[in-house]
Amino acid sequence: MSPEPLHQGNLSSPTMFLLLGFSSAYRAWVTLCLCFSLIYLVTVLGNLLILTLVWLDTHLHSPMYFFLGHLSFLDICYSSVTLPKILRDAFSPQKTISFVGCITQIYFFLCFGGSECMLLAAMAYDRYLAICHPLHYPALMNRKMCRCLVAVSWLSGSISSLIQAFLTSRLPFCRSNRIDHLFCEIPFLLKVSCSPNAPLNKAALYVFAGTIAMGSFLLTVVSYVHIIGTVLRRGAGTHRAFTTCTSHLIVVSLFFSTGAVAYLAPHSSDSTETDEVLALLYAVVTPMLNPIIYSLRNSEVKGAIRKALCTGVSRVCTKGLGITVE
């Protein structure tokens, strides 16, 4: 039995939301579930591979890969907030989520997303120091600075998401408890809210979200303006160093462009399926692509993967032949 819709005038918070997800005309659940399962598997395994390589390979014990390890951990967390719930709903006749569960999902989704925004900006700053100030780079980007930048990324994402989740939890809902989306997201909860101060609430929520997103985006842009200026000014000597930025630039472009389209594009009842596809792009597909991009575009990561594979094969062969190495 579906949760009863809220009636106009009942200014309260529902105990349960109904996630409508893909419409019946759009539904091809077997194919979708296989795709989502494969995407989640690739996301977790790919990012775990990056984490393991950064931890074990001494050649990757540098600030750039320290940040990359944290990015991989964030990507696992980011996709885990939404994908397992989407997969579970695919096999459930009633796609519901509690009010507390919905606000919790919003908090962690924004927390990991905001932290990733700031971490990408920190990675851009790291590349700026490495290319524009190579002589002072070891002193400026020391272990303490790396840890501080990661801590600031996590704290800024956590505090911003906590405020947004709290403001969302205070919204009254009197129109409906049906969310026309795959998971809980603030724009879709604002649609079903009937707060008399809805424009003010919406503005406050977007200010907090925009501060993190735009702040980190502007820091990234400024860093790359200086990097490109230095490369053009110094010539061939810095071109090789600039190649270390290409993977990061692709990841930044994917993350910010998909997020901007999903959040800044107008939402209407006629574009529900488009909104869901966009949501899947930045919430599910981007975390899967990040380790693939870094593996294909980064020679040091590719070298670490080859080394790990060779070590693993040699150990298997040694054990299979019964040879013991003293």
Parts of the chain with a pLDDT under 50? 1-2, 4-11, 25-26, 324-326
- At what angle are helices 143-169 and 63-90 packed, to 10 degrees? 30
Per-residue pLDDT at 212: 87
As a 3-state breakdown, the chain gives helix, strand, coil percent values, each rounded to 5, of: 75, 5, 20
Which of 71, 21, 77, 76 minimizes the C-alpha distance to 298? 71
How far is it, in rounded angstroms, from Cα 248 to Cα 151? 20
Q: What is the pTM of this model?
A: 0.84
Per-residue pLDDT at 318: 62
Which of 133, 136, 138, 6 minimizes the C-alpha distance to 61? 138
Per-residue pLDDT at 8: 43
The domain spans of the chain are: 16-298
Q: Which residues of 71-94 are buried (b: 16+ CB within 10 A; e: fewer)?
A: bbbbbbbbbbbbbebbeebbeeee
Per-residue pLDDT at 156: 92
The phi and psi torsions of 324 (rounded to 5 degrees) equal -110, 135
Per-residue pLDDT at 94: 76
Per-residue pLDDT at 173: 77
CATH superfamily of 16-298: Rhodopsin 7-helix transmembrane proteins (1.20.1070.10)
Per-residue pLDDT at 57: 82
Per-residue pLDDT at 240: 65
178 DSSP β-pair partners: 18
How far is it, in rounded angstroms, from Cα 303 to Cα 313? 15
19 DSSP β-pair partners: 179
The phi and psi torsions of 141 (rounded to 5 degrees) equal -100, 65
How far is it, in rounded angstroms, from Cα 313 to Cα 307? 10
Per-residue pLDDT at 238: 63
